[in-house]
Structure 1
Amino acid sequence: QDLAKAMLCGTRCDEDVIAIAVVLMLRYSKTTSTALTLRKMHRLFVTCLHVAIKAHSDRYFRNDAYAILAGVTLPELNLLEAALLEGLEWRCLVQREEAFAFINAPLTVAAATIPSVETYSPYCAA
């Protein structure tokens, strides 16, 4: 939850990109039969968020700047992004209905990690 807040503040992207990133995480997990473990969550989340921002936002960071923000090295981010895109079979667009279905789904572990808009302000400079 803190990572999501920090990444939203650092990238200044729309909050719906978090839901898109989580949909990409779930899609990647299903496509590759990879279990989502706590150990994998940080890198998978920041990579999915990076790809979600690139695919769904008009403004995004260069990989070197995003790597610093995400707390990974540039070569690692490049490898993670390539592996994610390959695992997603380059299907990184999320339809609005798919994101809304996730947001409106009954509370799950994944949905519980998405902070509300009100919780961003303590972490973001106005």
Structure 2
Amino acid sequence: MSPTSPANTGPQTPQPPAGKKKVSAKTKSEWLAPAILTVKTITAAAECAPFPYIKGVSGTILILLETVQLVKDNREAFKELCTDTTEIIMMLHDQILTHGDTAVKFKALCEELERWII
């Protein structure tokens, strides 16, 4: 190995070419809100445009973008719900392991709650 060559320290992550910025996942997902605003503006401006189909096309695009936003928001809420549910299950599991005799009482309370719900 020559003194001017870098030491091989394992796999290297590729660096973006000079002058280009690396685009993060967050930046990639931030395009939706400005796009919705732009299409809303185009739809509003189409009221005055002499072209009859601009309003219809931009309205359809707006509906599609808003649907994408809803799906994205629901996916994030679903991930949070799954995380919270997993945490609750783990806490219950730990409590049952720690307090074995209480598990029988807890089971009876859950069965009573089920009767109230149903």
TM-score tier by shorter-chain length is: under 0.3
Structure possessing the higher radius of gyration over alpha carbons: 2
Query: TM-score, normalised to structure 1's length?
Result: 0.20
Instruction: For CA contacts below 8 A with separation 6 or more, give which structure has more relative contact order.
Output: 1
For normalisation by structure 2, the TM-score amounts to 0.21
